[in-house]
């Protein structure tokens, strides 16, 4: 006739020893979870950086000079929002995994919570210096000659000089029109040059954001790994002691002695 009591004791011992064997290895699991969280966050970071770059270039195509002057402030705020969002999403994926590592060992899930990233300040490059008016005009020297030639009564495109010489009203009217055209052209060139400077500024912003994301993620993950492992280490030791006490407390058939698991010396 089978001894049901002995069978129950053996089953209980086997279950306790299995739990005892599952206790070690928490540090490696926490490290692996943090590494996977970093990989996932890196993919989100790349997408966010590309999106910010496209948005900045699109803004520059539409923005006027006054709007461009405010761009560093807006870019810094957007970059910090991106960092906060990436860190928040990283925590949303990591914390449940850390809780699972704790609960799988019969430990309090609070021992697996250590994701508390601090605020991150992104250092945006300073605004590019605006191009000077006369410096811009110098790049279009032909425009000056075009505007001033009527004053000398000289042909501009191969036509004869205007009758009456340089002092005629027609010449002065032509010169005035030329000056207006020149000013408009210079201002247009200045706007284009200023916009081009800002476009060269954008890669510096995205590089700063990328560096801030990498640094913030690495710092938060390393801190989390240390905090969680430090919380799990004593919890694992306590749990191992509880299991060993339960194993010693199990009494089997006469002559059978409950021995603690050999694996406890490796914890």
Is residue 168 one of the residues assigned to a domain? no
Q: So what's the pLDDT on residue 239? A: 75
What total number of domains does the chain contain? Answer: 1
Over 70: is that where the pLDDT of 68 sits? yes
Over 90: is that where the pLDDT of 164 sits? no
Is residue 104 one of the residues assigned to a domain? yes
CA distances (Å), 164 to each of 46, 145, 154, 156, 170, in order?
68, 20, 12, 16, 8
Is residue 142 one of the residues assigned to a domain? no
Residue position matching structure tokens 């086997």: 14
Is residue 150 one of the residues assigned to a domain? no
Domain that holds residue 98: 4-131+201-266
Is residue 75 one of the residues assigned to a domain? yes
Q: So what's the pLDDT on residue 251? A: 66
Is residue 187 one of the residues assigned to a domain? no
**215 Cβ partners below 8 Å, 6+ apart?**
120
Is residue 174 one of the residues assigned to a domain? no
Is residue 231 one of the residues assigned to a domain? yes
What is 100-164 written as a DSSP string? HHHHTTT--GGGG----PPP----PPPPPPPPPHHHHHHTTHHHHHHHHGGGGT--SSSPPPPTT
Residue 22 CB neighbour total at 10 angstroms: 14
* pLDDT digits 0-9 by tens, 189-238: 655 777 888 899 999 999 999 999 999 999 999 999 988 888 888 877 77
């Amino acid at each position: 006739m089978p001894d049901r009591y002995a069978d129950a004791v053996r089953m209980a011992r086997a279950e306790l020893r299995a739990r005892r064997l599952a206790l070690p290895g928490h540090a490696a699991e926490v490290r692996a979870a943090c590494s996977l969280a970093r990989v996932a966050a890196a993919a989100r970071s790349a997408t966010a950086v590309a999106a910010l770059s496209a948005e900045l270039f699109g803004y520059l195509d539409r923005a006027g000079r006054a709007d461009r002057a405010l761009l560093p402030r807006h870019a810094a705020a957007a970059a910090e929002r991106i960092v906060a969002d990436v860190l928040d999403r990283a925590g949303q994926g990591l914390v449940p995994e850390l809780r699972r590592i704790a609960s799988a060992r019969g430990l309090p899930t609070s021992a697996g919570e250590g994701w508390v990233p601090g605020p991150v300040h992104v250092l945006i490059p300073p605004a590019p210096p605006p191009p000077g008016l006369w410096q811009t005009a110098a790049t279009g020297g032909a425009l000056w000659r075009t505007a001033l030639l009527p004053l000398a009564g000289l042909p501009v495109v191969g036509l004869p000089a205007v009758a009456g010489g340089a002092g005629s009203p027609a010449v002065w009217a032509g010169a005035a029109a030329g000056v207006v055209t020149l000013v408009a052209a210079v201002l247009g060139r200045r706007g284009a040059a200023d916009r081009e400077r800002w476009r060269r500024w954008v890669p510096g912003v995205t590089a700063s954001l990328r560096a801030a994301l990498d640094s913030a993620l690495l710092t938060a993950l390393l801190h989390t790994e240390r905090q969680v492992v430090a919380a799990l280490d004593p919890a694992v030791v306590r749990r191992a002691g509880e299991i060993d006490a339960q194993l010693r407390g199990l009494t089997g058939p006469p002559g059978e002695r409950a021995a603690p698991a050999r694996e406890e010396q490796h914890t």
